[in-house]
Amino acid sequence: MTKPTRRTSILFHIVEFNEGGIESSLLQWLKIYDRREFDVSLSVMFTSPAFENHYRALIPADVKLEMLVDRPWLNYFQARRHANRLGKPGRVARDVFNSLAVRPYVTRRLAALARQHDVIVDFDMSLRRWAGRFDIAWLGVNHFSFDARLGHRPRKAKRLSRQYARYDAVVALNEQMAAEATSMFGDTLQRLFVLPNAIDVDGIRASANAAEAPRAPCSAPYIVSVARLDEYQKDHGTLLQAYAQLLREVDVPEHLVIAGDGGSRQALQARAAELGIAARVHFVGHVDNPHALVAGASLFVLSSRFEGMPMGLLEALTHGKAIVATDCPTGPRDILDNGRFGILVPVSDTAAMTEAFRNLLTVETLRHELSSKAFARAQYYGIEESNKRFAACVATARGARGEPAIATAAR
């Protein structure tokens, strides 16, 4: 009789849930990892309106949920922040309160959870102060370009370098990001892994056919963008200018559908009106399931100034879309393999984006060629390949601590 194998117990962690790409990628990670090999739990530092109203229901049923700050009085300042009632004195009080009350409480909770798990995956590196403690393997996941965030902040980069060195391994989402980490931190990191965001290809394609999935707000064909409305990073302003220029140069039927919400929404709507394109630009707000919108589009566009490993591009490939993306740090160049699977344009370059739109919308053979390649590219980020990469990363981090390997289940 074969002795049952013990699964590796993984604790994923995130500080809180808001409306962003990290949250979406975390949900994919939680869904796709092989339950024959991994027993998966999730810890969340603080609750939030987005978590209670949306994300809590999306966590897989077999994932054990741990709220680290699980006492209402410890959430007092966070609740005021989410209600926009904190203010500068409140922020000062919050910082003092966190040092005196929240951190000691979290330390005790983490110590208890560490005894129940084999690995902590700090998915947003919000546990940097605790990394390396409790006699357990730690993986820290970085989601954004190191250069874009820290290249002009050497003092912060030096401080983070010391904190990142506490992790048994730091995970970069793509090769470009890993190269930035090597250049910025040198040999201070114990180990550096490239572990791309994971996707459930079949699940994503099925989501486009769900009865509740929102459809396009227009009957015309359309270009689609799915991203938070945050001009500092996402640069929808250039997208609007390029689309307006396209309409001046070429008679195309495509409208522009922008799915996402954020602090820049009113300014972007005003800009669309100034450009005279408001009637053909549709701001649909945050969409829980954008897959039908993406699947029905003529092409997908990402206009960001910087990224990490944008889930939107992976999902667009899964739906077989022709793609226009900025060649920003980091993610698009790796995902699109230097332009083999989509058109890369310089960041904030209106003319280049306009030309890419024109080529894809007027040269049907080019659009179909990229569409036919897209789905095959998505498989690289699918369940089977992602599980192999994650298992190797975990085994290496644990082995470096001298921990015995846990036999994996037969496939």
Looking at every residue in the chain, the average pLDDT score rounds to 91
Residues of the chain with CATH 3.40.50.2000: 8-198+382-400, 201-381
Q: Are 342 and 325 in contact (CB under 8 A)?
A: yes
Total number of residues shown for the chain? 411
Backbone angles phi, psi at 175, to 5 degrees: -65, -40
**pTM of the full structure:** 0.79
Contact indicator for 228, 262 with CB cutoff of 8 Å:
yes
∠ CA 350-258-346 to the nearest 5 degrees?
Answer: 25
At 115 the pLDDT is 96
What mean pLDDT comes out for the span 86-109?
94
Is residue 3 predicted with pLDDT exceeding 50? Answer: no
Cβ count within 10 A of residue 178: 21
Confidence check: pLDDT of 294 > 80: yes
Q: Identify the CATH class of 8-198+382-400.
A: alpha beta
Q: How confident is the model at residue 403 (pLDDT cuts 50, 70, 90)?
A: low
pLDDT in tens, 353-379: 999 999 999 998 999 999 999 988 998
Residue among 214, 119, 219, 129 at smallest CA distance from 169? 119
pLDDT at 5: 65
Which residues make Cβ contacts (< 8 Å) with residue 55, sequence separation at least 6? 17, 23, 27
Residue 108 near residue 92, CB atoms below 8 Å: no
Instruction: Name the class of domain 201-381.
Output: alpha beta
- pLDDT confidence of 57, banded at 50, 70, 90? very high
Q: Which residues contact 117 (CB under 8 A, 6 or more apart)?
A: 9, 10, 11, 41, 136
Q: What is the pLDDT of residue 129?
A: 93
pLDDT band at residue 406, thresholds of 50, 70 and 90? very low
Average pLDDT over residues 71-80: 92
Question: Does 386 have pLDDT greater than 70?
Answer: yes
Strands 323-326 and 299-302, by their bridges, are parallel
Tell me the pLDDT tens digit for each residue of 14-28: 999 987 778 988 998
Closest by Cα among 212, 288, 284, 289 to 50: 288
Q: Which whole-number Å values give the CA distances from 280 to 220, 320, 361, in the listed order? A: 9, 24, 16
Question: What pLDDT score does 404 carry?
Answer: 54
| pLDDT tens-place string over residues 194-238 | 999 888 888 899 988 887 778 888 999 999 999 999 999 999 999
Helices (H) and strands (E) counted in the chain, each on its own, are: 17, 13
Instruction: In whole angstroms, give the CA distance from residue 201 to residue 213.
Output: 17
CB under 8 Å, gap of 24 or more: what pairs does 179-186 form? 180/145, 180/146, 180/147, 180/329, 180/330, 181/142, 181/146, 184/146, 184/147, 184/150, 184/151, 184/157, 185/157, 185/161
Instruction: Identify the weakest region by mean pLDDT among 29-38, 175-184, 402-411.
Output: 402-411
Q: What pLDDT is recorded for position 2?
A: 45
Residue 320 has pLDDT above 60, yes or no: yes
Report the pLDDT value the prediction gives residue 40, as an integer from 0 to 100: 95
The yes-or-no verdict on residue 409 having pLDDT over 80 is no
What is the rounded average pLDDT of the residues 28-39? 90
Nearest alpha carbon to residue 147 among 326, 338, 330, 303: 330
